[in-house]
């Protein structure tokens, strides 16, 4: 289960509308209790990949480090990442899967069709390493 306050859920979807037709991406800080993740804060990240910003995303290592530092300051952890899929379904791509390494974290994808956010899905990265990792669709609870 991924628990997201309404205003943050709206904000991450709006981010994808703002950057359309390019992808947006960001980091989610919050609290993790086994597979129950609660989002407390969003950190927008610049899309560092300029070659094809419409179908790939990447968060710069410096941004990840800054996010961890910010989280530690507030007693929060990185609980996941979000990005948008302009004119593509809210399903993970082979690139998304290959670049996912944060086990126990949520990977949230919002489909943005013609500039409007439609479906938002969350996938929990399960497993212990590259050999057994998997994305599992998880329910999103908006509070």
Residue (63 or 96) nearer to Zn ion, CB:
96
**Smallest distance, Zn ion to C-beta of residue 116, A:** 18
The residue whose two tokens read 């126990």 is 104
CA–CA separation, 41 and 71 (whole Å): 9
Residue (31 or 49) nearer to Zn ion, CB:
49
**Smallest distance, Zn ion to C-beta of residue 96, A:** 4
Site for Zn ion in 91-110 (CB under 5 A): 93, 96
Residues 6+ apart with CB under 8 A from 87: 21, 112, 113, 114
| Beta strand extents in the chain (DSSP E only) | 2-4, 25-33, 36-45, 77-86, 106-113, 116-126, 134-138, 140-142
The yes or no reply on residue 122 touching Zn ion (CB under 5 A) is no
In the shown chain, the binding pattern of residues 59 to 98 toward Zn ion, with x for contact by CB under 5 A and - for none, equals ----------------------------------x--x--
Distance of CA 9 to the CA centre of its chain: 11
**Smallest distance, Zn ion to C-beta of residue 5, A:** 23
Residues that bind Zn ion in the complex, under the rule CB under 5 A: 93, 96
């Amino acid at each position: 289960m991924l628990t997201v306050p309404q205003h943050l859920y709206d904000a991450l979807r709006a981010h994808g509308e703002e950057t359309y037709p390019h992808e947006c991406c960001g980091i989610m800080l919050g609290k993790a209790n086994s597979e129950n993740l609660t989002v407390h804060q969003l950190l927008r990240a610049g899309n560092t990949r300029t070659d094809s910003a419409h179908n790939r995303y990447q968060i710069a290592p410096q941004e990840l480090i800054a996010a961890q530092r910010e989280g530690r300051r507030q007693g929060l952890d990185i609980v996941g990442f979000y990005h948008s899929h302009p004119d593509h379904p809210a399903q993970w791509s082979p690139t998304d899967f290959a670049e996912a390494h944060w086990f126990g974290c949520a990977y949230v994808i919002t489909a943005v069709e013609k500039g409007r956010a439609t479906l938002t899905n969350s996938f929990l990265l399960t497993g212990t390493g590259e050999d057994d990792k998997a994305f599992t669709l998880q329910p999103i609870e908006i509070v």
